Structure 1
């Protein structure tokens, strides 16, 4: 998750330099970031493919290759990153003990705070692409840790070893299980909510640097504002955990969304460099808890035998938002300028509230019953208790 945050947090501060070096427009420029987390949900074992893809990508990008090659290898990186996100969320979503708290901690580890600090320094150097050598070193460490801990095994094997309860699926039922997930509209409401949320998050973290430079006359150090935003995200996912529990996660999300919407208007209409920088950090803090809250909602309302597959789909599909909305921002900015950033963000934040309102607050009862083996196992557990 740290590697996911590192990638998302690096793009914004490097984007102005990438546009300068490759002489590409707004639209072309954010294709780089847009391809960062291409949707992929296939399960190939923890770390079996994605860590290697990151190492290959950073090795090539550190040499500042021609622009087409830069994009192609970003696609390679995106495959690994999207797989990483789906696996991490599916694993924690399947845990038995304190899953809500653990989900919040997991997403606090999605920590792009350090990335803009490093990327901003490299963006001011002639060898700006050497930033990816730092990323390469981190990806090597990531690969070693994944290999040592998970040893390329499947999720259920890892959960069983950790003392978690894994519900078996009867032979021949996997196809029916997939059909249930795809036919459940609540899963798709959650997936689209995450898509919009991730899009808003990545758009602010990436494009806010360009906005501050061009509309607020910020200097080369404007990349640190992106670090403030991502630092707020990390802080909000931990500090606001007691608040979420006190007022209820669903109510908390609505409150955070409305406050974020109001602060977005402040950045839009108040021409203050310092004020905008501080406000962006507060928006990050308020947006931070929304992703884990949505995942926790999925854990509460979806049938347990569909949970892991559903969360994997929601997380994987949702990462398309990091491509779609930043790409829309680049396309609109190409015609109307970077000042169009905030009207788009306001519209997307309002859409987030609408999508979350469509998600039910009670466990679903219309899903197909689990296989007989699962039901019998639950009965045995009650008898033992």
Structure 2
């Protein structure tokens, strides 16, 4: 939960930093949006390496590598080198985030009370995300500190090692690869691609995470440039979004368990879209903060719901690889959707933001519907000797 608070601080503060970065490096909206593009590079590398790290060093390896990447990335950004180097540092931060995201999400969703535990984990992310805009957008200016001092604040110790010091590779293999150990067959992580559910949830995460990041990344600029809000009010709109999301993730997990993941998420989407439409036409800045908070509240469980369904549909030995892959697909959406909005903003004005998020949310809802109808497969094609010709594809959903 601590590590996810730090992830939230990193991600949510990007929106606050867009304008200072633009001014410091003399960049336009399109060029500064490259920050959203480099994130998926780190997540893609994380998706390819996470299973290897688990099998070689166990969860302890993730607990060491990921915070180290955050420390190095934050130090480089804080040194405010040329913008190209800053982009590389943001990619390193994203690599660390990808390792943590896929690993701990799979861990949380695989146990009992998965919706509640995943909600606690994702809620911790939202706590950090709610604090980020307030601290970066309010405290730094009040203390008359430059934007890059924020990244000195984000440098942290590798305390995750203390929590996972006993989680070595042999323990991980014993817990997750029980069938492989007993039959002496080598698990093939690529088997996750044979499940239709993997691709459907990857598409859903691409749409949902892109929508979430677009809101977080552009809300501060929208409030200051279109609704003439003060920097304080604009940052509070972003904090309200993430604060509402934190409360939703902490509290709606119980509701999701009672209603069922598939149906509950559809209800959350419909309510969210309704509030987004109201937000688009309400011009009062304080009311905008209230509606942003409500939007965040009902979007809260949406990511955890996808992880929970994924771990129910795929065998345990594929969880880390599959969650890492789908999370990286989400980061592709987190890159290109906000970047695309940035391109529209440059050509049509910042006002287009309010309508774009409604369209993106509708697309995410449409992507969720087929996910909610998936059922677990009756067999597990997760070993190399299942890859031979003649395997029965009807076993896969």
TM-score normalised by length of structure 1:
0.87
Deviations 1:193-215 (A, max 9, x none): 11211111111112011001111
Task: Name the CA distance, whole Å, in 2 between partners of 1:248 and 1:350.
Answer: 21
Alignment match, 1:59: 75
Alignment match, 2:57: none
Task: Name the CA distance, whole Å, in 2 between partners of 1:250 and 1:131.
Answer: 39
RMSD of aligned residue pairs (Cα, Å):
2.3
Alignment match, 2:394: none
Task: Name the CA distance, whole Å, in 1 between partners of 2:135 and 2:192.
Answer: 41
Task: Name the CA distance, whole Å, in 2 between partners of 1:12 and 1:212.
Answer: 12
Alignment match, 2:151: 132
The answer to whether 1:174 aligns with 2:187 is yes
Deviations 1:197-249 (A, max 9, x none): 11111111120110011111011211121111101111001121232223222
- Of stretches 151-160 and 304-313 in structure 1, the one that deviates more from structure 2 is 151-160
The answer to whether 1:151 aligns with 2:165 is yes
Change (3 A) 1:113 1:369: closer
Change (3 A) 1:152 1:351: farther
Task: Name the CA distance, whole Å, in 2 between partners of 1:333 and 1:254.
Answer: 29
Task: Name the CA distance, whole Å, in 2 between partners of 1:369 and 1:319.
Answer: 25
Correspondence list, 1:18-33, <5 A: 18-33=21-36
Alignment match, 1:381: none
Q: Quote the offset at 1:69 in angstroms.
A: 2.0
Task: Name the CA distance, whole Å, in 1 between partners of 2:278 and 2:190.
Answer: 45
Deviations 1:57-92 (A, max 9, x none): 111222222222212211222211112211111222
The answer to whether 1:206 aligns with 2:206 is no
Deviations 1:233-281 (A, max 9, x none): 1100112123222322211111110111111111212222111111011
Task: Name the CA distance, whole Å, in 2 between partners of 1:78 and 1:50.
Answer: 9
Task: Name the CA distance, whole Å, in 1 between partners of 2:179 and 2:106.
Answer: 16
Task: Name the CA distance, whole Å, in 1 between partners of 2:261 and 2:6.
Answer: 27
Alignment match, 2:389: none
The answer to whether 1:106 aligns with 2:125 is no
Alignment match, 2:267: 255
- Of stretches 26-35 and 268-277 in structure 1, the one that deviates more from structure 2 is 26-35
Where does structure 2 lack aligned partners over 5 or more consecutive residues? 54-60, 386-397
Change (3 A) 1:302 1:174: closer
Task: Name the CA distance, whole Å, in 2 between partners of 1:90 and 1:123.
Answer: 38
3-state SS of 1:118 partner: helix
Change (3 A) 1:254 1:166: same
Task: Name the CA distance, whole Å, in 1 between partners of 2:78 and 2:320.
Answer: 36
Change (3 A) 1:333 1:369: closer
Task: Name the CA distance, whole Å, in 2 between partners of 1:181 and 1:320.
Answer: 19
Task: Name the CA distance, whole Å, in 2 between partners of 1:292 and 1:215.
Answer: 33
Instruction: Work out the number of aligned pairs and report it.
Output: 361
The 8 Å contact of residues 187 and 383 in structure 2, kept in 1 or not, is answered as no
3-state SS of 1:322 partner: helix
3-state SS of 1:365 partner: coil
3-state SS of 2:178 partner: coil
Correspondence list, 1:157-306, <5 A: 157=171, 167-169=178-180, 170-175=183-188, 178-221=189-232, 222-306=234-318
Task: Name the CA distance, whole Å, in 2 between partners of 1:83 and 1:108.
Answer: 18
The answer to whether 1:117 aligns with 2:134 is yes
Task: Name the CA distance, whole Å, in 1 between partners of 2:107 and 2:256.
Answer: 22
Task: Name the CA distance, whole Å, in 2 between partners of 1:291 and 1:279.
Answer: 20
Deviations 1:26-50 (A, max 9, x none): 1111222443453231122322322
The answer to whether 1:307 aligns with 2:319 is yes
Q: Quote the offset at 1:122 in angstroms.
A: 1.9
The 8 Å contact of residues 228 and 280 in structure 1, kept in 2 or not, is answered as yes
